Chain A
Amino acid sequence: MLTLAGFQQGFSWAQGIPEVNVLPQLHAYYIARGIFGAMIVISGIVQMVNIGLTMFSDTAERRRRETLRVAEAVAPPVGG
């Protein structure tokens, strides 16, 4: 997104258009950048939560139980 904005700035500069006239055109790019920036912050928080949950809960035991449950559903234990 900023690459495009940069090209727009650069070409306008090369054509001698004053930078102040380009700024309104850049506004849309900056809004997009703000949205993407918010997405990055959110993904950072998601990563933090994921790591935290992994540290403070026994995911190995949980996965073992889940696998066991699926295995028993597919092939019930004999006599069960």
Chain B
Amino acid sequence: MSEPTDATSAAAPAPHTERAARPAPFSDQAAKHWFLSSIIWLTVVDLFGLVLATEFITPEAFGGISWLSFSRVRPSHVNGVILAWLTMMYFGALFYMLPRLVGTRGMWSERLGVWCAWAWNIMYTLGIIGLLTGHSQGREYGEFIWPVDILLLVIWCANIFNILATVQIRTIRPIYVSVWFFIASPIWLAVDYAIGNVIWNPGHVWSAPSGALTNSLSDAILNWWYAHNLFGLWLTPMLLALTYYIVPRVTNTPLYSYTLSLISFWGMAFFYTGVGDHHILQSPTPAWLKTIAEVSSWMLLVPVFAFTINILGTMKGNWDKFFTNLPLRFTLTAFFFYFLVNIQGAFEALQPFNRLTHFTNFVVAHAHLALLGAFTILGMGVIDYMVAQVYHRPLTAGT
């Protein structure tokens, strides 16, 4: 673990000693490239969202501009939030936290991480240009065309290799729960992305129809299995991993329970892959699949409660820091929204409730509560924390 510089608190000024002037033991080059890119993408993808919101108010606002039409901006917004902003922020946090948790001075290859960050930015730019010019696969959350899918997977696998190699050369033998997620989650998502985008079937490479199963009902099931796994196997586990790091670190308190943290890990691994079909409960998919989706959605509350109790237990006696520490305040706000969105999601996955909310703005609200309320707010806190630590100075405005 690093020296607690506590750069975000307003308490004491950093003393100008020789130790403070010494270069940092961690280079954090890879982490910097990933999370600084992410913070720029955030505004870009938010602007896409604002264009969409404007089009809901006045549909003719951007009339005539083909690349600002709803059907092209919507996938750019959705894919951007997940793959440009949140994924880059998560990898930035991962490349920052992993060396500190496994006791190395950096990633196995910081240079590889930096290259991957640039490649990822190029990949996403290409993907977004493709979407805005109408080159789309037309499957929700899997709109990127085949070449972009392949490029994404290559970079992703390079990152997985970097992570596994770092864990391999670790000096701290026990693996903390965040590292469990850091190892598993990228692998889960790589498999999910490859299967969900049907990459073995490129079809018409530059546009639809491509990357789909020939049986459209099977394709819908596969599509939603993939789409929910984006959240269940990547975004949510990484939220847990980052919270498990930030809360004990900032409060300087050991995690409340290691057992509970493992329940949250294995519970998520076991139940999350089954929930996909709850997106299409009102369609002629097999009844047993719907039942599995509903039961899995409710069983997910087990890891959620394990996680909640664990964080509340760690925060016990530390709540004063909620009001004085900005990253912690962001993290716990995200934690609260995360809990809320899971309760909401569990009800939403039930058929009677779903009959009411399906095809309405309720679903959109649910998605925003998760991606904006939980993941994005957490990202803000984590970036504030990391910038202060990486640059060894307090934030310009940070309390």
Binding site for B on A (CB under 8 A): 1-3, 5-7, 9-11, 13-14, 26-27, 29-31, 33-34, 37-38, 40-41, 44-45, 47-48, 50-51, 53-55, 57-60, 63-64, 66-68
Given contacts A31-B57, A54-B388, contact A41 B46 (CB under 8 A): yes
Tally of B interface residues using CB under 8 Å: 45
Judge whether B25 is part of the interface by a CB distance below 8 angstroms.
Answer: no
Contact status of A60 and B14, CB under 8 A, knowing A34-B53, A54-B396: yes
A60 vs B17: C-alpha distance when bound (angstroms): 13
Provide the main secondary structure of the chain A interface. Answer: helix
Least CB distance, A11 to chain B, in whole angstroms? 7
Within 8 A of A (CB), among B1-55: 7, 12-14, 16, 36, 39-40, 42-43, 46-47, 49-50, 53-54
Q: Show 19 A/B contacts (Cβ-Cβ < 8 Å), sorted by A.
A: A2-B362, A6-B360, A7-B360, A26-B361, A33-B53, A34-B50, A37-B46, A41-B43, A47-B42, A48-B39, A50-B384, A50-B397, A54-B387, A54-B388, A54-B394, A54-B396, A58-B393, A63-B14, A63-B394
A64 to B13, CA, bound (A): 5
Q: How far is the CA of A31 from the CA of B394 in the complex (A)?
A: 38
Q: With A and B bound together, what is the CA distance between A41 and B49 in angstroms?
A: 9
Contacts A47-B383, A51-B36, A54-B391 given; indicate if A3 touches B365 (C-beta within 8 A).
yes
B39 lies within 8 A of A6 (CB): no
Instruction: Provide the bound-state CA to CA distance between A53 and B384, in Å.
Output: 12
On chain B, the residues within 8 Å of A37 by CB distance are 46, 49-50, 53
Question: What are the 5 A-B residue pairs with the smallest beta carbon separation, nearest first?
Answer: A6-B362, A2-B365, A60-B393, A6-B360, A6-B361
With a cutoff of 8 Å between Cβ atoms, the chain B residues found around residue A10 in the complex are 356-358, 360, 362
Residues of A close to B372: CB separation below 8 A: 40
B53/A29 in contact, CB under 8 A = no
B380 interface residue (CB < 8 Å to A): yes
State whether B39 touches A41 (Cβ < 8 A). no
